[in-house]
């Protein structure tokens, strides 16, 4: 028994030398190591280890398993090593008490204080990235006036969702993501000349009458600003967290602050800031120029005690792929830009996963017009 305990301690020490790049700690300290089984075999011992991660890990787990096999295999007395990495996305509590959407574990709002900062493109690539890592993902285009997800996801113009019993919309799948947008229900050339209550009603209908099925994440691409749709979403649906997209430009940062303050007032945690169009890299000479300013995302993250989830360049390639309806994480999934989005998606998933299941319930806030 003593030898086994010493061997287990040595194995834990070996595992502790690996720092998970997204959890920012070792797997033992985080509690991800669920089982270490040691059995005598010839001159040494066979070791099998079960590791459970809280974020989608299909893309990474093969390489991580190989790294850990080498680390544990170097422990004296170990003959053979088996590493099994699994993962599961938990449902996280909303700060309000509204009823959850059936079978949807987590709603994440991707928002911005102003338009033109690349929020929709970011939401698309985050959703597809999470799906590529194995998660079940839905994407809702909540911009009723100017829906764009149909174009960005490459859904053919005129595509209409099927219905079930004339009660439920069947989401349209694209690139492994279940999508729903007002663009699927209207003509592209017809403006939505609606007042606020009609817009809020349309959002509620799309959200609650879409047969999403089982989802780990429902990513909501919010319209810019802090108006009716944002308030409806926060008061009527259990949003687990929000992500603010901004550029380093002063005017964008000013509006991003308003977005953060709005989410705070309605008790939706801000998981972090994504800084888009951080710099432009010349395709001819490689010169880097900070067209919209520097370090704006980090400054606002520090000011509001949140984190800078990551930064993205101002890239012609991103724009071209978005216009073509083939997001960069699909068209060139191993390109630098695609890997940036993949990294961002895992960082968002971990930021949500680190929120404890025992979040203190905060009373609802009533928002009036006066």
Q: Would you list the DSSP string of 237-305?
A: S-EEEEEEEE-SSHHHHHHHHHHHHHHHHTT--EEEEEE-S--EE-TTT--EE-TT-SSHHHHHHHHTT
Does position 358 have pLDDT exceeding 60, yes or no? no
User: 258 with 284: CB under 8 angstroms?
Assistant: no
User: Each residue of 284-339: pLDDT tens digit?
Assistant: 776 666 666 677 788 888 888 899 999 888 777 787 787 777 888 898 888 888 99
Instruction: Specify the pLDDT at position 99.
Output: 65
Instruction: Specify the pLDDT at position 351.
Output: 95
Identify the band that residue 367 occupies on the pLDDT scale cut at 50, 70 and 90.
very low
Where do the domains of the chain lie? 2-87, 104-353
Q: Read off φ and ψ for residue 262, nearest 5 degrees.
A: -60, -45
Report how far residue 178's alpha carbon sits from residue 257's, in angstroms, rounded to the nearest whole number.
Answer: 31
Instruction: Specify the pLDDT at position 265.
Output: 83
Residue reference for tokens 């699909």: 330
Name which of 322, 245, 243 is nearest 278 in CA terms: 245
Homologous superfamily in CATH for domain 104-353: P-loop containing nucleotide triphosphate hydrolases (3.40.50.300)
346-367 mean pLDDT: 64
Handedness of CA 328, 332, 333, 339 (dihedral sign): negative
User: Each residue of 144-176: pLDDT tens digit?
Assistant: 777 888 888 988 888 888 999 888 999 999 999
Burial class of 309 by CB neighbour count within 10 A (0 to 12, 13 to 18, 19+): buried
33-54 mean pLDDT: 89
Does position 196 have pLDDT exceeding 70, yes or no? no
CATH match of 2-87 with 3.30.300.130: yes
Per mean pLDDT, which of 55-64, 204-213, 230-239 is the most reliable?
55-64
Instruction: Specify the pLDDT at position 4.
Output: 54
Q: 285-297 in b/e burial notation, b at 16+ Cβ within 10 A?
A: eeeeeeebbeebb
Report how far residue 179's alpha carbon sits from residue 124's, in angstroms, rounded to the nearest whole number.
Answer: 10
DSSP 184: G
């Amino acid at each position: 028994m003593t030898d086994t305990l010493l061997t287990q301690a040595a194995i834990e020490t070996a595992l502790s030398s690996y720092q998970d790049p997204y959890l920012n700690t070792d797997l033992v300290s985080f509690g991800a190591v669920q089982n270490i089984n040691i059995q005598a075999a010839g001159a040494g011992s066979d070791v099998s280890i079960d590791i459970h991660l809280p974020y989608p890990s299909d893309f990474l787990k093969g390489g991580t398993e190989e790294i850990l096999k080498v680390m544990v295999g170097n422990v004296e007395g170990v003959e053979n090593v088996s590493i099994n990495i699994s993962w599961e996305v938990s449902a996280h509590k909303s700060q309000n008490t509204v009823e959850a959407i059936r079978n949807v574990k987590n709603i994440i709002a991707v928002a911005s204080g102003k338009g033109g900062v690349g929020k929709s493109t970011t939401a698309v690539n985050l959703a597809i990235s999470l799906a590529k890592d194995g998660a079940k993902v839905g994407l809702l285009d909540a911009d009723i006036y100017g829906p764009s997800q149909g174009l960005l996801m490459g859904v053919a113009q005129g595509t209409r969702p099927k219905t079930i019993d004339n009660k439920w919309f069947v989401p349209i799948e694209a690139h492994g993501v279940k999508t729903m947008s007002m663009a699927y229900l209207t003509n592209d050339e017809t403006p939505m000349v609606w007042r606020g209550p009609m817009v809020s009603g349309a959002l509620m209908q799309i959200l609650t009458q879409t047969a999403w099925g089982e989802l780990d994440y429902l990513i909501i691409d919010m319209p810019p600003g802090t108006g009716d749709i944002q308030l409806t979403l926060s008061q009527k649906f259990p949003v687990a967290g929000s992500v603010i997209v901004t550029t380093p430009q002063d005017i964008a940062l000013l509006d991003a602050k308003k977005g953060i303050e709005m989410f705070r007032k309605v008790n939706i945690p801000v998981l972090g800031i994504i800084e888009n169009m951080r710099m432009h890299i010349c395709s001819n000479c490689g010169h880097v120029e900070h067209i919209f300013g520097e370090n704006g995302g980090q400054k606002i993250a520090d000011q509001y005690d949140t984190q800078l989830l990551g930064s993205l360049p101002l890239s012609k390639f991103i724009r071209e792929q978005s216009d073509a309806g083939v997001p960069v994480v699909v068209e060139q999934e191993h390109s630098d830009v695609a890997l940036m989005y993949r990294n961002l998606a895992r960082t968002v998933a971990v930021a949500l996963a680190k929120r404890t299941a025992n979040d203190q319930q905060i009373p609802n806030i009533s928002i009036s017009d006066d």
